[in-house]
A and B are shown apart, each in its own frame.
Chain A
Amino acid sequence: MVTTLTIRTWLAGGISILLLTGCVPAVPPDLIAAIEAIDQDLVALRAPEAAPEDYTRFAKQWVSLKSRVQTDDDLIRWPWESNDLEHELRQLHGEGWNTVSRLNRLQTTQRQQAESALSRLEARFLSINSHVESIEGRMALGGKPVHTDLLLKQARLFFDQKDYARAIHTAEQAGHALAAQTAVLTQELGRYADHQQVTSWQAIAKQTVDWSRAHQSTAIVVSKAERELTLYKHGRKVLSYPVRLGFNGIKAKRYQGDGATPEGRYRVTDLRGAGQTQFYRALVLDYPNAEDRWRFRVAQKLGTIASTSRIGGQIEIHGRENELMAQTLGCIMLDNADMASLFAQVSTGTPVAIVGALTRENAVALALAQLGDHHTDM
């Protein structure tokens, strides 16, 4: 009797234990939730774009396993039975987690890379602009600074949108544009750093000063790089005045309307006092002279200047028309007080030498050298 009861008790207990252990779900719900969380992380990390192959593999497997999870939902398995589905889900979870970690690292690296490249380029762009402004070489660059600026702005927009890959790519384009900008500047203004050219300018200035000494007369020398006009009397330096040039004054004048200030040996042909000029006093120069005309004809024949272009004229050394006027169309402009002083000391026939620079270490050459250094730093 006792034996029968004991057997029954043992049987009931065993069945209950079996039922309890066998009722566990086919796949632990927290595992499903964990994979769903991984999926959300991958989406938040833009995995479909940043790691398309990895994400597609993950998604394919996830969809496939999810479908099996739904099918196996009503299955009861014994604890000692192997569970392939759970094993595969755990494997997928591990792979997904690895991808999330890798993407996190990649995103951090890309963000740092983009931020570093952008900051460096933005600083360099500002620095170049500052140098260009200081030598008034903006016109020489044409539309290049705007092009570079637009690319930098686009790169910054991509960065703000956390699209670091695209921000890096656009920053690289901006870097190339900046390099092209520096190359154009060197090409256009490289003559200021050319020793032979500077020597030639020095010779022109010296001849003018020598003439002043020989003829016991006055002479004017203008250095475009230093924005300075020097008055010589009997071969001796008397006064120096700061000047403004044309809006493209740093370049050598080639044709009418280019905004450049001519370079060469000229003479004052007329003195215009109050009421005779729109400016406060003006000294009219004999631009274009024979050499200018010859250069212009050659350039037209070579096709570097359009056949419809004109050589221009009315190049003057003048005062301001109004106090806010900052640049000219190619003339040399002085403050009115300086102009009054100069006007009183020159006469018709006074020689005027306009040169690019008088020293090898001129402002433009130094600015170009600094830009070169920056370029090497990149």
Chain B
Amino acid sequence: MQLRQITVPLSLAILVAVGCAKPPSEQIDAAEKALKEAQQSGAATYSAEEYAKLEGSLTALRKEVTEQDGKLALFRDYGKVEQLAASAKTEGERVRTDAVKKKDEAKAAALQAQQVAQEAVNSTLALVGKAPVGKDRAALEAIKMDVETLKTSLGQIQTSIDKEDYPAAQSQSKAIHEKSQAVSAEIQGALAKVGKRKSSGAKR
């Protein structure tokens, strides 16, 4: 009688304790949030490999939750879910930080390349400023047109930066820089040809 008195409440207590096992919603939500934040930080672009694996972790987590939910209440165990959620959250934060860092680095590199291109074009424009006037300017007219086009092309770099397409911004900057240097060399050659004399201005 005494044994029954102890066993029944004890069993009920165990059943209540085990049977009430619920998924760790807060931890799961935190892991999902970490994934979303990583995605919003541009991880799919800047840490594509890490991001894909993070998505894998979340898939494993969701699978485990579904698996446990499908079991009889008595046999549910969300211990592994908790473990996976904690790990995904930590990983998500790491991927986000990594992506932000890589994105900032790409942006900084693009801005630096833009500055180099800008300086090269400015230097070419300064050379054009030294070009002669009057009859001798004929030799430089076509080159001046090229410099004007280069100046206009600088706007495309900014457009790519605004679109956060930093690889495009970098390649545009490098191309403009390279072309600008070639045009500068051409101007110097032309200047050497026409000399430093000043001719009289003429209509035509």
Contact = CB atoms under 8 A, between A and B. Distances in A.
Interface of A: 43, 48-49, 52, 55-56, 58-64, 67, 71, 138-139, 142-143, 145-147, 149-151, 153-154, 157-158, 161, 163, 166, 170, 246-248, 256-257, 259, 278, 310, 312-315, 321-322, 324-331
A327 B139 contact: yes
Contacts of B59: 60, 63-64
Interface in B78-135: 80, 84, 135
A59 B52 contact: yes
B72 interface: no
Interface in B145-162: 145-146, 148-150, 152-153
B49 interface: yes
A321 B135 contact: yes
Given A139-B142, A247-B141, A324-B194, 14 more contacts: A63-B59, A64-B56, A67-B60, A138-B142, A139-B145, A150-B176, A154-B172, A163-B167, A248-B141, A278-B199, A326-B138, A326-B139, A329-B138, A330-B204
Contacts of A326: 138-139, 193
A48 B138 contact: no
A329 to B, nearest CB: 4
Secondary structure class of chain B's binding surface, majority of residues: helix
A130 to B, nearest CB: 15
B179 A153 contact: yes
B171 interface: yes
Q: Which of A48, A138, A315 has the most CB of B within 10 A?
A: A48
A56 B43 CA distance: 13
B68 to A, nearest CB: 14
B55 interface: yes
27 contacts: A43-B49, A48-B49, A64-B60, A64-B63, A67-B84, A142-B149, A143-B148, A143-B152, A146-B149, A146-B179, A149-B175, A150-B176, A153-B175, A157-B171, A158-B167, A161-B167, A247-B142, A278-B200, A310-B203, A313-B203, A321-B199, A325-B138, A325-B139, A327-B139, A328-B204, A330-B204, A331-B204
Contacts of A145: 146
The 6 A-B residue pairs with the shortest CB-CB distance, nearest first, are A63-B56, A48-B48, A143-B149, A153-B175, A59-B52, A60-B56
B136 interface: yes
Nearest to B53: A59
Contacts, number: 141
B174 A147 contact: no
Contact of B138 (A59, A149, A259): A259
Contact of B136 (A63, A157, A325): A325
Interface of B: 48-49, 51-53, 55-57, 59-60, 63, 80, 84, 135-139, 141-142, 145-146, 148-150, 152-153, 167-168, 171-172, 174-176, 178-179, 193-195, 197, 199-200, 202-204
A62 B56 contact: yes
Contact of B175 (A56, A154, A315, A328): A154
* Highest count of chain A CB atoms <10 Å: which of B48, B137, B195, B204: B204
A263 B51 CA distance: 67
A143 B146 contact: yes
A55 B52 contact: yes
A43 B167 CA distance: 19
Contact of B179 (A43, A149, A313, A322): A149
A71 B53 CA distance: 18
Given A60-B56, A64-B63, A314-B202, A157 B135 contact: no
A76 to B, nearest CB: 20
A60 B52 contact: yes
B31 to A, nearest CB: 13
Contact of B203 (A71, A246, A312): A312
B81 to A, nearest CB: 11
Contacts of B142: 138-139, 247
Contacts of A153: 174-175, 178-179
Contacts of B203: 256, 310, 312-314
B204 to A, nearest CB: 4
Contacts of B150: 146
Contacts of A43: 49
Contacts of A248: 141
Nearest to B195: A322
A56 B202 contact: no
A247 B193 contact: no
B48 A49 contact: yes
Nearest to A56: B52
Contacts of A313: 203-204
A63 B60 contact: yes
A175 to B, nearest CB: 16
Contact of A60 (B55, B167, B193, B195): B55
Nearest to B172: A154
Contacts of A163: 167
A329 B135 contact: yes
Nearest to A259: B141
